[in-house]
Amino acid sequence: MKKKHQRLLIAAACIMALGLAMVSLKPKGPAATRTTTASALTVELIAPQSSEWPQELRASGAVSPWEEIAISPETGGLRVAELLVNVGDRVAHGQLLARLADATVRAELAKQQALVAQAQASLQQAAGNLKRAQGVDVAGALAPQKLDEYQASEATARASLASAQADLQSANLKLSQTQITAPDAGVVSSRAGVVGNVASVGTELMRLIRQGRIEWRAELDARQLTQVRVGQTALVQLPGSLPVAGKVRLVSPTLSTTTGRGIAYVSLDAAGNVRAGVFADGTISLQQQSALTLPESAVVMHDGRSYVYTVGADSKVSSKPVTTGRRRGDRVEVISGLDASMQVIAKGGAFLADGIQVSVILGQSAAPATTASAAAAQTTTGAGK
């Protein structure tokens, strides 16, 4: 019984010793309650850049030919014998495009040639009669009335010859019109003529884009139109292709009474790769203007607004709403909400939120700055001294 009592005393003593040890190991004071929060991300800070950017005017409009040429016969009632070009062909000035059947015209031409020959013979006879009459009249043997008749006959024959020659010239012109040629260089944009049809005057056989020149007709309101000048450069984004450069050649002097908008006519380079009839967006470059810019990766869209993220002295992230403007390449202009001296997180904004603690490194474009950890270290060092 005595041994059992001793064992209970030893066990109680061990329990008390263990309790005292645990109490001695328990953290004491405010410093003991401090916990270290691990950083969620390591981020790079950059500073905005200021540069001269051209002010741009955005617009939309149709891509159309500079000028079109309607090809149609100048003489009617003739059959279309041949069409020598197809849609998409490039043609030169004076190139033969179509030919009309000319058998009827050639017969008319032969007839007019015969009439000219007949008129020439009549004139020759009338001129001979007049000459002989004038020779006889010297001796006074011819009545004045008869002499007048010879003179009238010669004048009539001369007029008949002139009329026949004019008809012959008309027949030659009609023959030349059976060969339909290009009035200027261009590209065939449509072909409505059909071989075998009898064409009338003015019936369109085909249509050309004059000189192959294509332009963008940007639709602008009255305020925008006042900013556009002839010679300004433009960049047009065509569907499914690279942007095409151009230059403003003409600004509409009036506005549409129905839409209240005017047209800026922009001649496009590399027109061979451009298709008329498409609707395209583009920009017209105005004067140079200073811009505060950031990489696109530094600007985050959320709920229809643009934000950048900054890091405070406590290494915690906070969002800042900004207003963006022009874009060039991979950079975006910040119009308001950002100071030139501020530094923002370069990328990874989609994984950040207000209050998250991060580790900071400085980017190449960031101005030298003291991070929160460095500042804390300097403060500790100073206190130790």
Buried/exposed code over 145-177 (b: 16+ C-beta within 10 A; e: otherwise): eeeeebeebbeebeebbeebeebbeebeebbeb
What are the φ/ψ torsions at residue 193 (nearest 5 degrees)?
A: -70, 150
What is the per-residue pLDDT for 32?
36
What is the per-residue pLDDT for 19?
52
What is the per-residue pLDDT for 137?
60
Position 46, amino acid:
I
What is the per-residue pLDDT for 329?
80
- pLDDT tens figures, 283-319: 998 887 888 899 988 889 888 888 989 888 888 888 8
Q: What is the β-pairing status of strands 358-362 and 41-46? A: parallel
Q: What is the mean pLDDT of the segment spanning 28-39?
A: 42
Coil/strand/helix, residue 118: helix
Name the superfamily (CATH) of residues 57-67+214-289: Efflux pump adaptor protein, beta barrel domain (2.40.30.170)
What is the per-residue pLDDT for 97?
95
**Domain parsing of the chain, residue ranges:** 41-51+291-384, 57-67+214-289, 72-207
Strand order in the sheet with 41-46: 344-345, 41-46, 358-362
CA atoms within 13 A of residue 289's CA, in its CB half-sphere? 13
- pLDDT tens figures, 117-168: 999 998 888 888 888 777 766 656 666 777 778 788 889 988 999 999 999 9
Residue 266 pLDDT > 60, yes or no? yes
Contact predicate 382/370, CB 8 Å: no
Residue 370 pLDDT > 50, yes or no? no
Neighbours of 56 (CB within 10 A): 18
The dihedral over CA atoms of 20, 21, 26, 27, expressed in degrees to the nearest 10, equals: 120
Buried/exposed code over 307-334 (b: 16+ C-beta within 10 A; e: otherwise): bbbebeeebebebeebebbbeeeebbbb
pTM: 0.61
What CATH number does the domain located at 41-51+291-384 have? Answer: 2.40.420.20
Tokens for 68, please give them. 């079109």
Tokens for 52, please give them. 């001269």
